[in-house]
Structure 1
């Protein structure tokens, strides 16, 4: 005899302290910050969703295939990516049944217990689709049919969900080689949702990127510049940045292995670039070139006002076999030790005190929060701290971020929350978790008489809404 499905519920006090005093304060703070519009200033959602407003295909394509937080956990337990329908590097896909892929996910859903993914997914199941039983093998088909059927209804089309989620603005991330036709289509459609782009030049800046030679060639074709000449290459960047700005961009993003910067003399920079484009460079040359380009990007930001973001300290695509078969962003990005104090010195010597320049720093190396990042951001007017990222955007990681950065940087040298996701429906869930953690953290300060409650309420609202809008010039 089959057991009855277990109920699914979301406790109204989730992520608040067990202590009654702190919990009561957190509730009051959350009442003011929890329902504010969502500002999503950095992420990797697909602008085609809102350009075409086509229905999502099914539960698997919407919730499983785009979310490397989910399928990396399944892969770690021996589930092949081909069985889940994950696209391969060459654009092909193995033959798979999306319902069977969902069943496999459901059978393994216990793996996510206690993880942020379980918080996000259960929020989606409960609040977006109205499900009231837990996902497991016995409810797999019920979930699949309920979600897939809902996705064909007008209220579940991408633009309707955008409005339902109360999204004020969302930023996608595109390469300089992207023609931004989806962003143009959104503009032409007359729809009022605000979807902007961000300039991510890694394929044409990182000589060790597997696409670099071909990307550089296409960069030249797109801009009409001689990108194998140093001055022409820089002009091409300025041209594309100007186009991205016209299409709504307010930021750039740089996913470098380290935060190293350089400030070479013009002749040295030109000679280095010649080695790069000829393919006659060392690993040290590649690192120096990436560092020089961060400084060049900073100079351009001072001219065009785009906010810089650096997401360093990540050994990307660590699983070589998986990378060769499935390409980038398949959950194999591993944190590295990261230096900021020495690494940023060349760039900060030039621009650290420049009015109007803004640089948002992220880290996967939590040991740097109190030692390097918070003191830097607590001094340089241009520096702001991005929130906990990747493995650390869990409640515990968010709490550690606040604990370790508060004394040196305060709240107002941080930029609120970025969901940084490819999974559209997880966005309200992720922001809700961040707001709850911040309210719980602030409630502790109030209970310890380190802050008055009216001040905490103001900070909670600023963190949820005003700081990201201000930091990203949105």
Structure 2
């Protein structure tokens, strides 16, 4: 049995002199509210505000970082509690799922998942020993007992974590009933939706036509024409904005964003409705629709988030059996300089437009993204995201982009998580890494302490708040 202790200096610089400076900077930001503008927590969890069922369904089953590591070492998704879409059997005993996780605890050594989990277990649940085969049952019982207390209801934890605002990610085909309930109960400014239209923009996707019919019904707009389709999307965006949305979110594979002539776009749309669109037309239409999404963001002020360069559902069998988001989304090389050029030429200097760009291809940081963000006032760099939200990944981000784009063309941290109780751990890690980076600048006499403290507060709180204000709100 090994102790689980959170060292106060975790993830701070190893150099003693720099660490002293980093401690002071981190103290300045550690208690600041959390601004969570890009995530995947289900709004229903907070709307219902019911006790979490058990440790496994809270900490293991929804966390694709955790699932993918265990699967890479031979675990089956079904034995980790993930139910196949066809109704095949899966492990339903949460204690057995928890035991399987604890048996694989050593697999997470050196990973950000280990850092987050240690923070969750120790700080949220008061755990003092590491998970393992010999501690699994005792830890399960300890956490399960905590989950039965009022202080561990979702909204109580939301408040305890210091979350100021939490953005969810939502389909345009959702009527947002959970957000409506939250708004009625005074939580409308705390939990806001995000418009994620990807499924409607890829006309060759299975189920696309059925989704267009659903869009027409929900929006009250006939989608039998391309113009009607655009109008229906505008109506849904208006509904999201009325529900408190501040942003849209787009996860296309490529960045080839070029507006088609209206007649060509209408032809491709008509062909897609008839089932005749080919892959080439579908790709061109998807790029065109990103341009249209930018135009609509210019009209309605919703901040446009773009995160290309991920090949979704790499294992087609896993996708067929279990659905998306099972840990088999794999990064590919991304290109931004040419791909974003038409969009940025049209909107990149427009004070009514804001574009936040994320990547999992860090080779583009210094070569493309930092120079672009350092030139176009409408563009900001999103935080290290997904496979890069790690200690080394976040340090490399600051080192690669700061000298070209500075701090103030970035947006602060986003947690991008479905694992609700991991949110404070993820933000704490980001604040520690930024404290270390700023401490090095102070130690090298490149930045004064007062400016470092001010910058740390901006990175942790002010920049995400400013970046996700409706575009144009601060224009003038």
What TM-score, normalized to structure 2?
A: 0.97
Describe the SS at the equivalent of 1:137: coil
CA contact (8 A) 1:116 1:394 kept: yes
Pairing 1:218–2:214 present: yes
Pairing 1:28–2:28 present: no
Aligned to 2:60: 64
Counterparts of residues 230-245 of structure 1 (less than 5 Å)? 230-245=226-241
In structure 1, runs of 5+ residues without a counterpart are: none
CA contact (8 A) 1:40 1:171 kept: yes
Q: How many Å separate the matches in 1 of 2:247 and 2:188?
A: 21
Pairing 1:294–2:302 present: no
Measured on the aligned residues, the alpha-carbon RMSD in Å equals 1.3
CA contact (8 A) 2:85 2:323 kept: yes
Q: How many Å separate the matches in 1 of 2:337 and 2:177?
A: 40
Q: 1:161 aligns with which of 157, 172, 178?
A: 157
How far did 1:6 drift? 1.1
In structure 2, runs of 5+ residues without a counterpart are: 471-476
Pairing 1:408–2:404 present: yes
Residues 285-309 of structure 1 show CA distances to partners (whole Å, capped at 9, x for unaligned) of: 1221111111101111111100000
Pairing 1:313–2:321 present: no
Q: How many Å separate the matches in 1 of 2:374 and 2:218?
A: 41
Q: 1:278 aligns with which of 262, 274, 277?
A: 274
How far did 1:265 drift? 1.6
CA contact (8 A) 1:198 1:251 kept: yes
Counterparts of residues 46-125 of structure 1 (less than 5 Å)? 46-90=42-86, 94-125=90-121
Aligned to 1:341: 337
Describe the shift of the 1:98–1:168 C-alpha distance in structure 2 as closer, same or farther (beyond 3 A): same
Q: How many Å separate the matches in 2 of 1:214 and 1:164?
A: 42
CA contact (8 A) 2:91 2:97 kept: no
More deviation, 211-220/148-157? 211-220
Aligned length: 470
Aligned to 1:255: 251
Q: 1:304 aligns with which of 300, 304, 320?
A: 300
Describe the shift of the 1:7–1:459 C-alpha distance in structure 2 as closer, same or farther (beyond 3 A): same
Residues 103-145 of structure 1 show CA distances to partners (whole Å, capped at 9, x for unaligned) of: 0110011000010000000000000000111111100001111
How far did 1:193 drift? 6.9
CA contact (8 A) 2:194 2:246 kept: yes
Q: How many Å separate the matches in 2 of 1:182 and 1:192?
A: 10
Q: How many Å separate the matches in 2 of 1:89 and 1:362?
A: 31
Residues 188-222 of structure 1 show CA distances to partners (whole Å, capped at 9, x for unaligned) of: 22458710000000111112433322211211111
Q: How many Å separate the matches in 2 of 1:86 and 1:418?
A: 26
Aligned to 2:427: 431
Describe the SS at the equivalent of 2:174: coil
Residues 343-363 of structure 1 show CA distances to partners (whole Å, capped at 9, x for unaligned) of: 111212211221220000011
How far did 1:92 drift? 6.6
Residues 131-161 of structure 1 show CA distances to partners (whole Å, capped at 9, x for unaligned) of: 1111111000011111111111000000000
Q: Which runs of 4+ in 1 moved over 6 A?
A: none
How far did 1:93 drift? 5.5
Aligned to 1:326: 322
CA contact (8 A) 1:416 1:464 kept: yes
Pairing 1:450–2:446 present: yes
CA contact (8 A) 1:163 1:193 kept: no
Pairing 1:368–2:401 present: no
More deviation, 92-101/242-251? 92-101
Aligned to 1:461: 457
CA contact (8 A) 1:82 1:93 kept: yes
